[in-house]
Amino acid sequence: MFHPGTTDLKCHVVVTSYNSPVSDAKTLRPIRWQALIVDEGQRLKNDQSQFYTEMAKYHAGFKLLMTGTPLQNNPRELFNLLQFLDPKVQAASLEEEFGQLTKENVPTLHAMIR
């Protein structure tokens, strides 16, 4: 995956298993990724999980979450996903502002998601 004796990637794309970002973090985390695309993005809905905390340490210029699973439990799951995509956004602050979803604040939240 690397040029001999360097940390320079030989490839433009790295596709991993679901566990590799955690199990191989020592190798993968130091790389400055152009993009980080996470399939089954709903795995990042819990900001206390090992997967979330490890993935949050990766550096990427662009992040994309793909999921076919709707959020089911509470708005905090959505806020955690937004925080993962943009660490300047704090899930706790979003929960304070949007904890009670109303017809007045939902358009603002929709704008953030887009």
Closest CA to 17 of 1, 33, 40: 40
- Residue 81 contacts residue 44 (beta carbons within 8 Å): yes
pLDDT band at 112 (very low <50, low <70, confident <90, very high): confident
Residue indicated by tokens 């999980």: 49
Domain boundaries 20-113, CATH class: alpha beta
Instruction: Using the predicted structure, report yes or no on whether residue 73 has a pLDDT greater than 80.
Output: no
Q: What is the mean pLDDT of residues 3-32?
A: 92
Q: What is the mean pLDDT of residues 89-113?
A: 89
Q: What is the mean pLDDT of residues 56-81?
A: 87
